[in-house]
Amino acid sequence: MLNKFLIALLMGSTAALTAGYTQADSTGLFIAGGVNYAQLDTNLDDEIDWDDNIEAFFDDKTVGYNLGGGYRFNKWLAVDAAYWDLGEFKSDRLDNGETLGFDTSIWTVGGIVSAPLWILDVYGRAGAAMWDVDSRYIENDGTDLYYGAGVALNVFRSLDIYLEYVRFDADDAIDTAGLGLRWTF
């Protein structure tokens, strides 16, 4: 009798614990947000009209955030739009003793292709990135491609915890690694 009770308790507990995971491939609207670590390695001597012949080297890392939303059509395909604030990149010390810094913000629109593996989604993403750079010496903007890959752990039916790499392929590439949450309604 005790064995039957334990078997029933074990089966019931297993069903209750895995019930949320069976709904992990939910479809519909989603919102997302996270933190990202960005890296830029470039030389901006052609971008700035210096009085002297000065070169600005950037080998900097920043921490920023991203917020967005989208629609998941099925467990394999989604579209999204997001705002990325990558923070302020600072140059190495210039010949005149100053450093140069600039803020970078990006709006993205793109698609996501996923391969669901039980409670994990492995995905790739790509799209258009509309970027804006502002500083004392530089004001520039443009539209370029972005692409990346990531993995999302499905938790509590429609909540994902994701880890991803995204590259913004602007005039000078910016690489990011991010961690965040995505909630599907």
Residue 39 has a pLDDT of 87
Q: How confident is the model over 124-133, as a mean pLDDT?
A: 94
Q: ∠ CA 184-182-63 to the nearest 5 degrees?
A: 160
pLDDT in tens, 90-99: 776 666 667 7
In this prediction the pTM is 0.77
What's the CATH architecture for 2-184? Beta Barrel (2.40)
147 in Cβ contact with 14 (< 8 Å): no
C-alpha to C-alpha distance for 68 and 82, rounded to whole angstroms: 4
Domain coordinates of the chain in residue numbers?
2-184
pLDDT in tens, 138-179: 778 889 999 999 999 999 878 999 999 999 987 778 899 999
What is the per-residue burial (b if ≥16 Cβ within 10 Å, else e) of 117-143? eeeebebebbbebebebebeeeeeeee
* Between 149 and 15, the higher pLDDT residue: 149
Q: How confident is the model at residue 84 (pLDDT cuts 50, 70, 90)?
A: very high
pLDDT in tens, 25-66: 578 999 999 999 998 877 665 555 555 555 666 667 889 999
DSSP conformation class of 158:
T
